[in-house]
């Protein structure tokens, strides 16, 4: 009985962890893109290309 209980835990938890990791990675990627865009806009403005 213990073995089957462990199997169900093993099959359920990694999927949830993967889903959490994927959403975390998406958020991090999103923030990085926003940061890059903001930096690019700032650099263009400082050079003189008004946006």
Task: Convert 5-47 into a string of H (helix), E (strand) and C (coil).
Answer: HHHHHHHHHHHHHHHHHHHHHHHHHHHHHHHHHHHHHHHHHHH
Residue 11 pLDDT: 52
Residue 15 pLDDT: 78
The answer to whether residues 19 and 13 touch, using CB atoms and an 8 Å cutoff, is no
Residue 51 pLDDT: 52
Residue 21 pLDDT: 82
Low-confidence ranges of the chain (pLDDT < 50): 2-8
Largest CA-CA distance found in the chain, in angstroms, rounded: 71
């Amino acid at each position: 009985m213990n073995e089957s209980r462990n199997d169900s835990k093993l099959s359920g938890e990694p999927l949830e962890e993967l889903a959490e990791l994927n959403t975390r990675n998406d958020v991090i990627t999103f923030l990085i893109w926003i940061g890059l865009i903001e930096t690019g806009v700032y650099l263009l403005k400082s050079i003189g290309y008004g946006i």
